[in-house]
Amino acid sequence: MQLGMIGLGRMGANLVRRLMRAGHECVVFDVAPEAIAALAAEGAVPASSLAELVDKLEGPRNLWVMVPAGYVQGTVDQLAELLAPDDAIIDGGNSYYRDDLTRAAQLRPRGIHYVDVGTSGGVWGLDRGYCLMIGGEDAVVERLDPIWRTIAPGAGDAEPTPGRTAGGTAQEGYLHCGPNGAGHFVKMVHNGVEYGMMAAVAEGLSIIKNADVGLRSQEIDAETTPLRNPEHYQYEIDVAEVAEVWRRGSVVGSWLVDLTAAALAADPDLSTFGGRVSDSGEGRWTVVAAVEEGVPANVIQASLNARFSSRDLNDFQDKVQSAMRSQFGGHHEKPADVPASPS
């Protein structure tokens, strides 16, 4: 089937490739002409403007918008002027689901459909397929089924869920989650869960890495807690091997552990990383949703905060604590260049 793709960055380009491999026709546009040319060379139909893109699509048109979050609204605004009733705009990026509600309401009077799709899979999706979480009206989501089916992983290697009789598309890796915003809502929470899982693995490996703390000499002073039983912490364990062994047969087996094993295989000390962990919106929004719903979410919140602290956003509060300690106990800070204990 025919699809227009706006935005040919890594994700957009790979979606086009995956669709073309399955025989779909893709008309493509990007602000960078060379990105258009590259995909045209692979068989896509190039368009040098949004207007041309729209012209080259037969109605009812389906346009997938895959641009940075800051450009989605502008693109939707422009498309609103170009499109006809029953055309559909698919937002496949990481938009806030509340913006989906606004955009769908904006487009509704013109008869233009809006579909929000959370797309998970990262740089591996071209071959592995992308997990799709979809929000929108039934009819338009149904109409796009051939697109979803191609982009999604399909049943693949994963064994069927025992006892599952529900049928449906979830077992193919895509799901119509509900009305507008539901797709991005589920994707938002997916990323919150991802934050929590990542932090759990990272904490665990750090505890294993530091199982040698009893082997290290410790400063003895009033500002450092001495290790009570150093004989319990005499292990020098290879964390790369631990990540590898957890990949098979263990309860924590997961794609994130697979990736961790790969990263540690390439760089066992992770010395190429500084440890400044970005957060990209979904984790924050998940926490806000939990708070507004009244759902306790200590794990996801702690994992978001760990990212903040990794970027030193805890500096002022730490100074406040040092200042209090100085006041009540005359405690002087240990200088920053002499770590209180090894990391």
Which parts of 279-318 interact with a copy of itself (CB under 8 A)? Answer: 279-281, 284, 286-318
For a copy of itself, give the closer residue by CB, 43 or 122: 122
**Among 80, 67, 145, which Cα is nearest to 113's?**
80
In whole angstroms, give the CA distance from residue 212 to residue 230. 9
Window 207-226: residues binding a copy of itself (CB under 8 A) = 207-211, 213, 220, 222-226
DSSP annotation string for 78-122: HHHHH--TT-EEEE-S---HHHHHHHHHHHGGGT-EEEEEEEE-G
- Are 61 and 5 within 8 A, CB to CB? no
Window 43-62: residues binding a copy of itself (CB under 8 A) = none
**Tokens describing residue 138:** 């039934």
For a copy of itself, give the closer residue by CB, 83 or 286: 286
CB of 209 to a copy of itself, least distance (A): 5
* 70 counts as binding a copy of itself under rule CB under 8 A: yes
Window 102-121: residues binding a copy of itself (CB under 8 A) = 120-121
Buried b (16+ CB within 10 A) or exposed e, 152-179: bbeeeeeeeeeeeeeeeebbbbbbbbeb
H or E element in which residue 26 lies: strand 25-29
| DSSP SS3 for 221 | coil
Q: For the purposes of burial, counting CB atoms within 10 Å of the CB of 319, is it exposed (0-12), middle (13-18) or buried (19 or more)?
A: exposed
Q: For the purposes of burial, counting CB atoms within 10 Å of the CB of 60, is it exposed (0-12), middle (13-18) or buried (19 or more)?
A: middle
Question: Does 334 qualify as catalytic in the annotation?
Answer: no
The catalytic residue among 42, 52, 56, 194 is 194
CB of 9 to a copy of itself, least distance (A): 9
Among 50, 204, 215, 217, binds a copy of itself (CB under 8 A): 204
Question: Does 231 qualify as catalytic in the annotation?
Answer: no
Total residues contacting a copy of itself (rule CB under 8 A)?
A: 182
Site string (144-163) toward a copy of itself, x via CB under 8 A: --------xxxxxxxx-xxx
Among 125, 140, 141, 150, binds a copy of itself (CB under 8 A): 125
CB of 133 to a copy of itself, least distance (A): 7
The catalytic residue among 42, 81, 187, 319 is 187
Among 20, 96, 115, 140, binds a copy of itself (CB under 8 A): 96
Query: Catalytic residues, which ones?
Result: 187, 194
